[in-house]
Amino acid sequence: MKKTATAALLLAAAAALSACGAMPHHDTVAASHSPVIDASAMPLGAVIFVDGRPIGTVSKDQTRFATDTGTHMVRVEAANGAPIFSGELYFSKNTTRKIDLP
């Protein structure tokens, strides 16, 4: 009887340990110190340019775009290419600059 109880206990412990692999997994991501352009006021499909290079397109899931620190020429064009915004903006570390419609 003692061997049966010990075997049952070992099986229960093994089952409990194997379930640990099925536990939810969470990745830890280091916080970015990059400045961010907040284009949430821009229409869907607008393209964000920094220093002449496209860095992203505004969508319902994507309205914030990381950039580098410093002074940059930021331009926003509607999906049809019409200009919406153009300006020279300074970005420091850990800042968010919101671009509003004119």
Model pLDDT for residues 56-81, shown as the tens digit of each residue: 999 999 999 999 999 999 999 999 99
Q: What pLDDT, on a 0 to 100 scale, did the predictor assign at position 28? A: 34
Closest CA to 16 of 8, 27, 25, 6: 8
User: Percentage of residues in the chain with pLDDT exceeding 70?
Assistant: 69
> According to the per-residue pLDDT averaged within each range, which of 1-5, 8-12, 78-82, 91-95 is highest?
78-82
Tell me the helix, strand and coil percentages in the chain, rounded to 5. 20, 35, 45
